[in-house]
Structure 1
């Protein structure tokens, strides 16, 4: 499994099986990801290889350091006690292959979390959505390894 940040300055590879995958609703994970929860999948520490660049780290508590790209800010890791590492699921090149097994810190869930699946869906082929999507030029690194990571501006 491979992955990396949005700009491509940091890339990684996992040489082995991924562990448990979860979402954590705690306030620290919300702030670290800027999202409703922190989605992470465990990986044995010695199986994670940084193939381009290295994450910067923020010690968010006495137990946890969080790795992120120093250039674009993409959250990359949740590192517990210096022994266990979990990777941000959205930073994986194929995040859809990870199956969640649990939710953590559920009492801190945002009050509308349960309602997300009931919100209206705008299909990509609707005229307004299609026009918007067609107008986007992505500068994001592709979901695979590359020899050159310089964004095409």
Structure 2
């Protein structure tokens, strides 16, 4: 059974993408890098194999911060963080706020709460990890 494709785009609409609704995991990341790239208390993201995300518009409007196999991919025009290339280029962490369509997955945990913004209080019952979810908290 093929999963449906979800649409995503940046704030200004210069960059658009399609991603399969087959995310392997989702989390809220509270690390300082995610806070700075989003301008928010945390980044809700969903992880999926890189080949399941396809740009549909605006490839020339991408701004890559980092290396080919480990980066944050933004829209060059408006600065929106669209996704991060991770795990030696095998996966992307889609910034869930850029999805136009509603994915079936929801964040299942908070990661890097050891460096979360001191002015933000986590008020849900999701598991919390000091670092990566694979690390002991």
TM-score above 0.5? yes
Alpha-carbon offset, residue 31 of structure 1 = 0.9
Identify the residue that residue 79 of structure 1 maps to in structure 2: 85
Runs (4 or more) in structure 1 with deviation over 3 Å come to 95-98
Point out the structure with the larger helix share: 1
More strand by share: 2
Q: In structure 1, what is the equivalent of residue 10 of structure 2?
A: 5
* Residue of structure 2 in register with 1:144 after alignment: none
- 1:51-80 CA deviation, whole Å, 9 max, x = no partner? 0012321018xx730001001111101111
What residue in structure 2 maps to residue 143 of structure 1? none
**1:51 is the counterpart of 2:20:** no
Q: How far is 1:102 from its partner?
A: 1.1
- The correspondence for 1:35, drawn from 36, 40, 47, is 40
| Distance change in 2, residues 1:16/1:116 (3 Å) | closer
1:70 to 64, 72, 76: 76
Q: Which residue of 1 aligns with 2:110?
A: 103
Q: 1:49 to 1:115 in 2, by over 3 A?
A: closer
Q: Which has the larger radius of gyration?
A: 1
Contact 1:9 1:69 in 2 (8 A): yes
Verify: 1:113 aligned to 2:120, yes or no. Answer: yes
Indicate the SS of the match to 1:113: coil
CA distance in 2, matches of 1:47, 1:96: 14
Deviation at 1:115, TM superposition (A): 6.6
Deviation at 1:114, TM superposition (A): 1.5
Please provide the CA RMSD for this pair: 2.3
CA distance change for structure 1 residues 49 and 107 in 2, over 3 Å: closer, same or farther? same
| Aligned-pair CA distance for 1:94 | 2.8
Q: State how many pairs are aligned.
A: 116
Unaligned runs of 5+ residues in structure 1 are 118-153
Q: Partners of 2:24 and 2:39 in 1: how far apart? A: 24
